[in-house]
Chain A
Amino acid sequence: MDIVFLTFILMLSVFLGFELINKVPATLHTPLMSGANAISGITVVGAIALAGTGEQDLAQWLGAGAVALASINVVGGYLVTDRMLAMFKKKEGGR
């Protein structure tokens, strides 16, 4: 794919990332971080293509390892974030 095109995507995503996070209240910093952390496991998508070549070469083993590692990141990250967010509650109209 065109390098310029990819760089364009990069530039826009970076600005978008800045805008999205800038005004998040401190209360949510931990879930936000672990939620974002889960997204960084997106590498799994790249790793899948490498692990599925069917050729018993080094690249395939590296890909398989990457799939496993990134899966830990993805599954663990989302579950732990959900666990945290489930605990956040608003005050129920006083007693």
Chain B
Amino acid sequence: MISANALIIQLAYVVSAALFIFGLKLLGSAATARKGNTLSAIGMLVAIVAALIDQGIVSYQWIVIGVVVGGLIGAAAARMVQMTSMPEMVALFNGFGGLASLLVGWAALNGDASVFTVITIVLSVLIGGVTFTGSLIAYGKLSETMGSGAIMFRGQQVVNSFIVLGIIGAAVMLSMDPTNTTWLYTVIGLSLLFGIMAVIPIGGADMPVVISLLNSYSGLAACAAGFAINNNILIVAGSLVGASGIILTQIMCKSMNRSLGNVLFSGFGSGVTEATVVEGEIKPISVEDAYYVLEAATNVAIIPGYGMAVAQAQHVVKELTELLEQNGAEVNFGIHPVAGRMPGHMNVLLAEADVPYDQLLEMDEINPRMENVDVAIVIGANDVVNPAAREVESSPIYGMPVINVDAAKTVFVLKRSMASGFAGIENPLFYKENTRMLFGDAKESIGGLIREFS
């Protein structure tokens, strides 16, 4: 029979699990999402309070210090982060969650642990460790404190295989003798190393996939830690996050027409891109001429990419949208699922600039309308509008669904220079008959257009 205290705690966990589930459900629709997030936060609070009333707790000193220090750091970071740097912030938070699971797994080990417990401890340490260092590398690539390209070297697969074998070996040794902590330290070290090795061969353009995968891992790590310390709520919440992360990852992969294996292991973008023969010539356009075309347009589509985030151009884009609408044009945004550096990145930036979300169309919605579009404005996007994905069979992105801007009557491409995109692939769009290049910083170019209008 369990004590009254334990019963109350378990019931509280049931309540908090229900709140998480309901919260996640509400997060699925834009109108209720904020409420959903609040509900989920309340669920977390209930779980934490329940954990605090546990009679096994003797001293609150270190709990309070931990919560206060961590809470303050988290709150400060959440308040100060710019919307454009959201992907790396999420990666960093995620990494901390992973490290926490690693520490819990580590602390759960004692001399008389059963084989099952040792396995779950190893899993929480392994997944937590991979999440931690993997997220740090993702953070480095996203914030460009390190090169964002894929890092490949000879024998990489061999090295990785040895790491995996080492982890398995150490895990087996640990389950036979749980008192020998050397094996645990081996697992910890190798897991941390493995996280680094797993993410360095993945190029920056694939980061949306990596972030959602790591997000899934951090959930699985919490789940494994739940098994290690026999805690229901960790298992439920952890596996909810794990499953949702996997789904998101799958959606990302599908929208790039690639398998998860291909994203993780191919070193996409590090290879030599074959010289595609592109016919036609680049036709630049001045801000003034672009204005005349836009003034006559009645249907405008804007396709943003990571370049819009870099140039912080979302607010001027909103301003231009308003001017175009006052001028009688219909304006829509076409958002590719992998535009930007994390799933839904563009939507967040445009929301920050007060663009209503019903004006943001997904790829499948905007493509059929493209023929009626007078002007498609591509802002800092490249690969997601690359017609080579449809036309050039030898192209590395062949088969990836793209937004067919070339079907519009006129295409403006706002671009800094002729350098190729993140994935390093030549873009035939720039050479098309109906394409005009508006060179320069996206924010300044759009600012110029706004001045022409007023």
Contacts and interface: CB of A to CB of B under 8 A. Distances in A.
Interface of A: 1, 3, 6, 9-10, 13-18, 20-54, 58-92
A80 to B, nearest CB: 4
Q: Which 5 A-B pairs have the closest CB atoms?
A: A17-B243, A71-B70, A67-B66, A76-B74, A29-B344
Nearest to A47: B104
A13 B62 contact: no
A70 B222 CA distance: 10
B358 A49 contact: no
Interface string B29-72: 11101101110110010011011101011111011011101110
Q: Which of A21, A43, A82, A89 has the most CB of B within 10 A?
A: A43
B323 interface: no
A1 B345 CA distance: 42
Contacts of A87: 83, 348, 351-352, 354
Contacts of A60: 62, 107
Contact of B239 (A14, A31, A73): A14
Interface stretch (B142-150, B224-232, B409-417, B430-438): B224-232
B243 A30 contact: no
Contacts of B104: 43, 46-47, 50, 62-63, 66
Contacts of A66: 66, 99-101, 103-104, 107
5 contacts: A6-B232, A69-B103, A77-B93, A79-B78, A87-B351
Contacts of A86: 34
Contact of B219 (A23, A39, A71, A84): A39
Interface of B: 20-21, 23-25, 27-31, 33-34, 36-38, 40-41, 44, 47-48, 50-52, 54, 56-60, 62-63, 65-67, 69-71, 73-75, 77-79, 81, 83, 86, 89-90, 93-94, 96-97, 99-101, 103-104, 106-108, 116, 211-212, 215, 218-219, 221-223, 225-227, 229-248, 251, 335, 337, 342-345, 347-348, 351-352, 354, 356-360, 362
Contacts, number: 377
B107 A42 contact: no
Nearest to A92: B356
A48 to B, nearest CB: 4
Contacts of B89: 76, 80
Contacts of A78: 37, 40-41, 44
A30 B343 contact: yes
A85 B33 contact: yes
A32 B243 contact: no
B231 A46 contact: yes
